[in-house]
């Protein structure tokens, strides 16, 4: 049972300049060190690392994420993470800023083919 501990060990998880919920809750926008990270609510919900979601993932049965899942709140936890709340009522996830940046980069690379420009 080997958990992914990269984020916990990341020393460069700088606090963002700003965090906003955009597109009626569908996108988290994080300004960090001159870069703008945009992460879909469904991506974030699926990437939740709370105890319940981690246990479900380890059991091979991750929670289903509805395609219309939206963010309902983003609250800072100290200076290292956000607590995100979702429209399905799930609000236990703690998302370190470094982890959010990783998710944004991963999402940007997988979303690239969708850009018609």
CB of 80 to Zn ion, least distance (A): 18
Closer residue to Zn ion (CB): 53 or 100: 53
Output the smallest distance, CB 85 to Zn ion, in A: 11
Question: With binding defined as CB under 5 A, does residue 48 bind Zn ion?
Answer: yes
Burial category of 93 from C-beta neighbours within 10 Å (exposed 0-12, middle 13-18, buried 19 and up): buried
Nearer to Zn ion, 58 or 108 (CB): 58
Q: Which segment (8-16, 26-34, 77-85, 87-95) binds Zn ion by CB under 5 A?
A: 87-95
Q: Out of 10, 15, 50, 91, which residue is the one contacting Zn ion (CB under 5 A)?
A: 50
Minimum Å gap between C-beta 17 and Zn ion is 26
- State yes or no: residue 93 binds Zn ion (CB under 5 A): yes
Instruction: Name which of 19, 20, 26, 92 is nearest 56 in CA terms.
Output: 92
Binding residues for Zn ion, rule: CB under 5 A, are: 48, 50, 53, 93
């Amino acid at each position: 049972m080997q958990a992914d501990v990269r984020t916990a060990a990341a020393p460069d998880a700088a606090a963002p300049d700003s965090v906003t919920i955009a597109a009626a809750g569908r996108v988290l926008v994080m300004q960090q060190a001159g870069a703008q990270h945009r992460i879909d609510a469904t991506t974030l919900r699926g990437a939740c690392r709370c105890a319940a979601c981690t246990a479900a993932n380890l059991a091979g049965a991750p929670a289903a994420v509805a395609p219309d899942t939206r963010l309902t709140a983003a609250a800072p936890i100290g200076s290292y993470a956000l607590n995100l709340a979702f429209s399905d009522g799930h609000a236990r996830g703690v998302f370190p800023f470094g982890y959010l940046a990783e998710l944004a980069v991963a999402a940007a690379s997988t979303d690239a083919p969708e850009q018609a420009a």
